[in-house]
């Protein structure tokens, strides 16, 4: 079957398999009667090979994209899901002649199409020359209306008693209690929800799983629609910002500059800018 799929002779496939098995110190195949099956090492190699060929196929599929002048935007997931996707319709309407590629900036793996503009989040002290601020990253406790109702409509009671949704190291809650007048009543042994990504924290808060400290710029629509309730006017992380950075790996062009200016103006309009 493999020979027929590859359009080569059966002996050619057997020869290559023998070379591969001779080179590997670990058995890749095991015979069971008339059948030949993969060992654990063989299955691992087969899966890695499959992924490699898929990557090649995807890159070949993207060759037509690379032949055009594309403004590629890579953004962290939370920002891409809550803001960028909502303004994308207006962006392409205002610039119908510009090709735009929107992807996620996941720094633990390479991007399929290297972005020309990177949108991310950091403390002001970590920003570099040329970074353009989009909007502030200050945060405050929020919860779903159902959670507020469960605690008699009293925000302070929610903050004292409701189950908390923590970020991965609980920094947001620790920082908020350091600047708020409300004492931290959560004990070390209290059950807690810990979530490592902002979009999942928001989703858990919307679902009524508890009270969370969220970036106000990214839950603004949820607050305006009443899907989330702000429990305190005390905010933290006022020195953190969502920002846009030009990629050094991508040559600058007129379309990129136009998209960059459009996004900056839209950020000011939607969120008041930084």
Domains and CATH numbers, the chain: 2-61 (1.10.10.10), 64-137+239-271 (3.40.190.10), 139-230 (3.40.190.10)
Which among 225, 234, 237 is positioned nearest to 141, based on CA atoms? 234
Read off the pLDDT of residues 244-253 as tens digits, 9 standing for 90 and up: 999 877 777 8
Counting runs of H as helices and runs of E as strands, what totals does the chain give? Answer: 12, 12
Backbone angles phi, psi at 103, to 5 degrees: -135, 180
Contact (CB, 8 A) for 244 and 263: yes
Two tokens, residue 47: 């899966």
What pLDDT score does 124 carry?
93
CA distance 98 to 233: 41
Which among 115, 133, 142 is positioned nearest to 202, based on CA atoms? 142
Asked if pLDDT for residue 20 goes beyond 80, the answer is: no
Beta strand 35-38 with 29-32 is: antiparallel
The mean pLDDT of the chain is 82
Read off the pLDDT of residues 128-171 as tens digits, 9 standing for 90 and up: 989 999 999 999 999 999 999 999 999 999 999 888 888 877 88
Give the predicted TM-score (pTM) of the model.
Answer: 0.64
Contact (CB, 8 A) for 249 and 114: yes
CA distance 171 to 37: 50
What pLDDT score does 111 carry?
52
Backbone angles phi, psi at 68, to 5 degrees: -100, 160
Which among 231, 233, 234 is positioned nearest to 154, based on CA atoms? 231
Contact (CB, 8 A) for 255 and 246: no
Read off the pLDDT of residues 126-139 as tens digits, 9 standing for 90 and up: 999 899 999 999 99
Which among 200, 197, 196, 172 is positioned nearest to 186, based on CA atoms? 172
Going by pLDDT thresholds of 50, 70 and 90, the confidence category of residue 241 is very high
What pLDDT score does 243 carry?
95
């Amino acid at each position: 079957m493999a020979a027929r799929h590859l359009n080569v002779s059966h002996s050619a496939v057997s020869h290559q398999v023998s070379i591969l098995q001779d080179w590997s110190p670990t058995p890749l195949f095991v015979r069971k009667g008339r059948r030949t099956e993969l060992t654990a090492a063989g299955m691992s190699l087969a899966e890695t090979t499959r992924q490699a060929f898929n990557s090649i196929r995807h890159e070949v599929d993207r060759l037509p994209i690379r032949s055009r002048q594309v403004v590629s935007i890579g953004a962290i997931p939370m920002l891409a899901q809550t803001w960028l996707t909502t303004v994308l319709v207006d962006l392409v309407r205002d610039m119908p002649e510009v090709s735009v590629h929107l992807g996620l900036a996941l720094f633990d793996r390479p991007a399929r199409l290297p972005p020309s503009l990177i949108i991310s989040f950091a403390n002001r002290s970590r920003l570099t020359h040329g970074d353009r601020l989009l909007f502030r990253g200050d945060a405050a406790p929020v919860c779903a209306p159902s959670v507020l109702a469960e605690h008699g409509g009293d925000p302070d009671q929610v903050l004292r008693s409701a189950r908390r949704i923590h970020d991965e190291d609980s920094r947001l809650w620790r920082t908020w209690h350091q600047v708020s007048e409300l004492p931290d009543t959560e004990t070390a042994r209290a059950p807690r929800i810990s979530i490592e990504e902002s979009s999942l924290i928001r989703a858990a808060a919307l679902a009524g799983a508890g009270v969370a400290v969220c970036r106000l710029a990214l839950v603004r629509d949820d607050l305006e629609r009443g899907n989330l309730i702000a429990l305190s006017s005390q905010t933290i992380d006022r020195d953190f910002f969502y920002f846009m950075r030009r990629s050094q790996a991508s040559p600058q062009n007129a379309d990129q500059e136009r998209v960059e200016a459009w996004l900056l103006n839209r950020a000011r309009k939607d969120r008041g800018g930084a």
